[in-house]
Amino acid sequence: MNKLLTHSQSIKIINGKVIDNNVIDLAINPNNQNKIYASASSNGKSFNTKYDSLGKFFNKLRSNRLSLLDVIKNDSKKKHNLSNSSNSSKARKSKAVKSSKARKSSKARKSSKARRAKKN
């Protein structure tokens, strides 16, 4: 499979003011791995996403009646939300482990004090 790198930019200027400035970069099969890396910028806000196969990417485009820019934005937001939820899940697990260790440590200190008190 061949590689394809593409860049497109669309600028809408009305009365000398930039109203829309959209940029799309696609790297299709850049490392011969059948993947697509998509990057979009809309009025200064960037969106990046990766598709694991050419088929998934083209099916996504066909199934949505959205522009390429909107598909990249939506997929980027979905992946960003998923990574944020997994990070918060990891944080909750970490807190649970720490609080569990703190309880065990506290119990150990109490039992140690109780043993010393019995000796005296």
- Give the number of C-alpha atoms closer than 13 A to the C-alpha of residue 84, restricted to the C-beta side: 6
Is a pLDDT exceeding 80 seen at residue 58?
A: yes
Contacts of 8 (CB under 8 A, 6+ apart): 23, 24
pLDDT tens-digit profile of 67-88? 899 999 988 888 766 655 555 5
- Residue reference for tokens 């990766």: 50
* pTM of structure: 0.58
Domain ranges of the chain: 4-119
Cβ atoms of residues 46 and 17 within 8 Å: no
β-strand partners of 9: 23
